[in-house]
Amino acid sequence: MPIPHDNFDARIREVLVKHGRFPVDALSPSGNDDLYEAGMTSHATVNVMLALEGEFDVEFPDEMLNRSVFVSIASIRDALVTIGGT
- Kindly tell me if the per-residue pLDDT of 35 is higher than 60: yes
Judge whether 26 lies within some domain: no
- Kindly tell me if the per-residue pLDDT of 2 is higher than 50: no
pTM: 0.85
Judge whether 51 lies within some domain: yes
Cα–Cα–Cα angle for 30, 55, 29, rounded to 5 degrees: 10
**Count: domains in the chain:** 1
- Kindly tell me if the per-residue pLDDT of 31 is higher than 90: no
Judge whether 28 lies within some domain: no
- The whole domain housing 15 covers 5-21+33-82
Judge whether 17 lies within some domain: yes
pLDDT for position 41: 93
Instruction: Quote the mean pLDDT of the chain.
Output: 87
Q: Give percent above pLDDT 90 in the chain.
A: 60
Indicate which CATH number applies to the domain containing 68: 1.10.1200.10
From residue 52, give the alpha-carbon distance in Å to each of 74, 76, 77, 82, 86: 14, 9, 10, 14, 11
CA–CA gap between residue 65 and residue 22 (Å, rounded): 20
